[in-house]
């Protein structure tokens, strides 16, 4: 007879959202946990589920334990149909993301669910190495640029375009601290809505108003340049604070600091426009 504890465990586990399901490698404990930024969205394939009635009639209690142990082991595939082998020669991939098949060398379609950090082969941290990021970007664009596939098949031309566009998006997102921080928060299920004053108090808004007024009154490049230096100093300090908050797992603090960074980034752009007007 099948253990009631096993059936209860399976029944409760099936009620979890499919896209958020990641289980531990302990047979008797099926716990939902957060997927790291560098991994895929992990879930169980729909065809792994078998009805309780069928299991009761065909499997012993020990067999059932072994069965659910095998199908709930952590796997690197997602519910968004991640391609796990080459679309042409069917060679299985050793790692993701894979841009070219190691066997037949053809370009592969983008893998849905893979984070920008994995695409750019860098650590999923706020203080990443931007020089390494740029090298990775140039390397990928040289190999994936659509011009390289003008004489290839229609599939390869299409995949190269998609891959090149995805690499561009990943690079632009991770290149600047603000967009990188916002992306990290999104990976953790948080985001700052545009047009809101999330984490911004009245004193801070008053400070911003004074800076904007000073910029409007600036009559010389020297006056605008001073505001530029002050703004960069503010952004540098915020960058250090945000990095510390994210490392400590203080997401609400990081969210509030990123909201402030958005305002100072806007001021930085206004200063650039002002300085360009003197040229």
Q: Summarize pLDDT for 181-198 with one digit per residue, the tens.
A: 999 999 999 877 765 555
Q: How far apart are CA 42 and CA 79, in angstroms?
A: 7
The residue among 21, 42, 71 that closes a domain is: 71
Shared domain for 62 and 88, answered yes or no, is no
185 occurs within a structural domain:
no
Lowest average pLDDT, out of 67-71, 107-111, 256-260, goes to: 67-71
pLDDT: is 197 or 28 the higher one? 197
Same domain for 92 and 170?
yes
Do residues 36 and 121 share a domain? no
Domain that includes residue 227, residue range: 202-276
Q: What DSSP string runs through 165-202?
A: HHHHHHHHHHHSHHHHHHHHHHHTT--PPTT--TT--H
CA-CA distance, 176 to 180, in Å (whole number)?
Answer: 6
| 21 or 219, which is more confident | 219
Angle separating helix axes 221-247 and 202-217, nearest 10 degrees: 150
pTM: 0.68
Kindly state the average pLDDT of the residues 90-119.
94
Mean per-residue pLDDT over the chain, rounded: 77
Answer yes or no: do 14 and 66 share one domain: yes
* Residue 161 within a domain: yes
Reported confidence tier of residue 22, pLDDT bands at 50, 70, 90: very low
Question: Which of the two residues, 207 and 197, has the higher pLDDT score?
Answer: 207
- Angle at which helix 154-175 crosses helix 130-144, to 10 degrees, equals 170
Tally of structural domains, the chain: 3
- Please tell me whether residues 171 and 86 are part of one structural domain: yes
Is position 77 within any domain? no
């Amino acid at each position: 007879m099948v253990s009631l504890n096993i059936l209860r465990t399976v029944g409760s586990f099936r009620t979890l959202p499919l896209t958020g399901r990641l289980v531990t490698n302990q047979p008797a404990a099926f716990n939902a946990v957060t997927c790291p930024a560098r991994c895929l969205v992990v879930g169980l394939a729909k065809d792994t589920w078998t009805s309780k009635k069928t299991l009761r009639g065909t499997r012993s209690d020990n067999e059932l334990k072994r069965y659910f142990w095998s199908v709930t082991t952590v796997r690197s595939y997602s519910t968004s149909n991640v391609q796990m082998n080459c679309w042409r020669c069917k060679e299985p991939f050793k790692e993701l993301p894979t841009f070219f098949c190691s066997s037949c060398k053809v370009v592969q379609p983008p893998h849905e669910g893979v984070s920008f950090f994995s695409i750019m082969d860098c650590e999923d941290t706020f203080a990443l190495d931007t020089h390494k990021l740029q090298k990775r970007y140039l390397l990928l664009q040289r190999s994936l640029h659509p011009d390289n596939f003008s004489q290839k098949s229609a599939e390869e031309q299409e995949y190269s375009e998609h891959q090149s566009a995805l690499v561009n998006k990943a690079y632009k997102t991770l290149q600047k601290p603000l967009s990188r921080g916002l992306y990290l928060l999104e990976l953790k299920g948080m985001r700052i809505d545009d047009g809101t004053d999330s984490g911004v108090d009245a004193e801070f808004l008053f400070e911003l108003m004074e800076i904007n007024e000073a910029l409007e009154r600036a009559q010389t490049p020297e006056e605008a340049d001073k505001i530029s230096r002050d703004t960069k100093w503010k952004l540098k300090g915020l960058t250090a604070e945000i990095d510390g908050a994210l490392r400590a797992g203080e997401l609400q603090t990081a969210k509030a600091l990123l909201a402030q960074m958005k305002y100072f980034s806007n001021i930085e752009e206004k200063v650039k426009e002002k300085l360009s007007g003197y040229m």
